[in-house]
Structure 1
């Protein structure tokens, strides 16, 4: 079996360099250059899950740092299954998983980062965001009319939302994350990069398999029709918000076992 440590190259292979121009068509969704077979990868994943448990114990004992892991993806990108499998060895008492849905009325009465602030992990804890504050430069970028719900002083109509608005929002997010990092929060962000073809396959599985029906809604098809708009929004997000204190990793997501293997490998590498 390959040595898990030797494959720590994934941290660099899939890392988004600060300020790097991003075209997602140049990033693979199914890495054909896999260094391991599926069986080997699953064995290494088990070993990495044990390592994550050890890292969590040290994190809690030191009570000096916290860890925030962010997952973003197109619909059916595999966020839920990645979290379920990769984090399966962690002590649930030291982990919080927050899935962010459409903002509530109460949340809209505050700034867009408020609902994320209040669920950040305390020292010694691990926090996982299933979707995150980045929805505010993704969904709202594709549907700018949603910004009007925030009742911002200078935004009265969609026509008021220009390029400078998004530049400023990226700056706000970067400042938010830099403040967290300076205070001891280790931030790792994963974009699970799934192809449109694989997304279609997974949607069909959700429709045809009664056990998966609950995962599918008609709204998924509407959002799928906006694939190019979302891809552009993700490219801008990755270009503007990846830094040494809070890096993005673009992980191939067409093959779920490989996605989980890579994510676990990167987390262990970055936290060791």
Structure 2
């Protein structure tokens, strides 16, 4: 089992991708943000979700700033669950989710970033991408549909695209939900064994599972090539679902706090107004 990587000055520093790295150096079982028993952690998650709601209100009311959260991970890593619990107390007014499936015929007829432009966050919006443009530097190279040079070009184009977003007021946070193959096996089996979860299961998941080593290498290359100071990647230990949610909620709260969002200005026209 790997060691905890959090540090006192910046608890996320050890989980931020900087240059080449190996996913085996990150323990998917780690729980560095856990404090107390499960009940205490759930209470803390509720408090973070409430604080996130208040910060999102300030973002929504404050003007041109935006926040984009990118969630990537293998099947069953918990992208849906993260969204469900981290934003459980957040107003839907300023939060929007886009799920990236396999490209449609319409999307394949254009450049691979075309479908992303349509769902970038609007001013004052917190946008969540469930999968993302990174599918296009993971699935195609693993399956041999594009070569190394094309993968490199796409990573460079992603960096340019994300620079455009950050230059125009979008804060980007990218999280790789890191689970072990044994944990994925348990979660896939749970879907098979429970008829209420059959809709979540696809036979294609088993084929992708056979390519686990190839996907880990593809993730290592893609994350290393596209993690920047303005749009960093974080490896989130995700075997423990509650801890995964805690860590991402804390990361988002810290990110919004560091954006130093000003409260909306009072409307002078409302001074002294009395509602009859």
* TM-score, normalized by the shorter chain, greater than 0.5: yes
Alpha-carbon spacing, 1:33–1:262, altered in 2? closer, same or farther (3 Å):
closer
Q: How does 1:105-116 map to 2 (within 5 A)?
A: 105-116=105-116
Query: Shift of residue 141 of structure 1?
Result: 1.5
Per the alignment, residue 68 of structure 1 pairs with 68
Query: Shift of residue 8 of structure 1?
Result: 8.0
Query: Shift of residue 163 of structure 1?
Result: 2.3
Question: How far, CA to CA, are the matches of 1:264 and 1:58 in structure 2?
Answer: 17
Q: How does 1:109-188 map to 2 (within 5 A)?
A: 109-145=109-145, 161-188=146-173
Q: How does 1:13-162 map to 2 (within 5 A)?
A: 13-17=14-18, 20-31=19-30, 33=32, 35-37=34-36, 38-145=38-145, 161-162=146-147
How many pairs were matched up? 250
Q: Determine which structure has greater relative contact order: mean sequence separation of CA pairs < 8 Å that are 6+ residues apart, divided by chain length.
A: 1
Secondary structure of 1:122's aligned partner: coil
Question: How far, CA to CA, are the matches of 2:44 and 2:212 in structure 1?
Answer: 34
Question: How far, CA to CA, are the matches of 2:81 and 2:32 in structure 1?
Answer: 23
Determine if the alignment matches structure 1 residue 201 to structure 2 residue 202: no
**1:145-175 CA deviation, whole Å, 9 max, x = no partner?**
3xxxxxxxxxxxxxxx432211111100000
Per the alignment, residue 270 of structure 1 pairs with 255
Q: Which has the higher helix share?
A: 1
Question: How far, CA to CA, are the matches of 2:27 and 2:101 in structure 1?
Answer: 28
Alpha-carbon spacing, 1:253–1:129, altered in 2? closer, same or farther (3 Å):
same
Per the alignment, residue 11 of structure 1 pairs with 12
Determine if the alignment matches structure 1 residue 232 to structure 2 residue 217: yes
Contact 1:7/1:265, CA 8 A, preserved across alignment: no
Alpha-carbon spacing, 1:263–1:196, altered in 2? closer, same or farther (3 Å):
same
Query: Shift of residue 64 of structure 1?
Result: 1.6
Question: How far, CA to CA, are the matches of 1:7 and 1:46 in structure 2?
Answer: 23
- Which runs of 5 or more structure 1 residues have no equivalent in the other structure? 1-5, 146-160
The alignment's C-alpha RMSD in Å is 1.5
Secondary structure of 2:96's aligned partner: strand
Larger radius of gyration: 2
Query: Shift of residue 16 of structure 1?
Result: 1.2
Q: How does 1:228-267 map to 2 (within 5 A)?
A: 228-267=213-252
Query: Shift of residue 55 of structure 1?
Result: 0.9
Moved over 6 A (4+): none
